[in-house]
Amino acid sequence: MEAYLTISTHFSAAHRLALPSLTLEQNSEIYGKCARVNGHGHNYHLEVTIKGEIDPRTGMIADLVAFQKAVDDLVVEPLDHTFLNKDIPYFAEVVPTAENIAVYIRDVLKQPIREIGAQLHKVKLIESPNNSCEVYCTYETESISVADQREPVLAPA
């Protein structure tokens, strides 16, 4: 039986929405106050959802501890208390909108989630009470059957 499992966490980061090829005035037309030269920050709320078959032995899709560790080690720790544009190389070239941050998180987590025996289903990034973004992980060219999935890696007791 297929099921979904979601964990919620948070991180704080600053960013500036601006294309380097445009003037401050042009960026302000596109991004408004978010284009201000010194940037601004958010307390981001992050929800990551995985999907997979429920293991009849463990009753789980994947080990929750391993899932949480992947999100903490690969997303929260590297992004928390950073200025995304300057501290995260990916965002030197990509405008760190909520959409692009969610895509970045999806791309960072996709393979590590597979390694714990599940598939990444969705990344939801809530930037403020006014806006959030959901990015779904698709496997167009990949076909993962239950037989192809790795055994769940369980945390030591």
Kindly state the DSSP code that residue 33 receives in the 8-state scheme.
G
6 - beta bridge partners?
49
What SS3 state is found at 97?
coil
pLDDT in tens, 28-69: 999 999 999 999 999 999 999 999 999 999 999 999 999 999
Which spans in 17-147 are helix H?
24-31, 64-71, 77-79, 84-87, 90-93, 98-115
Which tokens in the block code for residue 32? 């408004």
* pLDDT score at 145: 41
The answer to which of 79-83, 131-135, 138-142 has the lowest mean pLDDT is: 138-142
Q: For the segment 3-16, what is each residue's pLDDT rounded down to a tens digit?
A: 999 999 999 999 99
What is the reported pLDDT for 15?
98
Give the pLDDT confidence score for residue 149 in this predicted structure.
Answer: 41
Is the Cβ–Cβ distance between 46 and 123 less than 8 Å?
A: yes
Strand 119-128 to 2-15 pairing: unpaired
140 — pLDDT class (breaks 50, 70, 90): low
Q: Which residues are catalytic?
A: 34, 81, 127
The residue behind tokens 């964990």 is: 7
Model confidence pLDDT, tens digit, residues 55-113: 999 999 999 999 999 999 999 999 999 999 999 999 999 999 999 999 999 999 999 99
Token look-up 């003037």 returns 23
Residue 129 predicted with pLDDT over 80: yes
pLDDT of residue 27: 96
Element housing 91 (H / E): helix 90-93
Residue 138 has what pLDDT? 79
Cβ(96)–Cβ(14) below 8 Å? no
Which helix (H) or strand (E) covers residue 10, if one does? strand 2-15
Q: Convert 126-135 to b/e letters by CB count within 10 Å (16 or more is b).
A: bbeeeeebeb
Task: Give the pLDDT score at 153.
Answer: 39
Report residue 83 as tokens: 């200025």
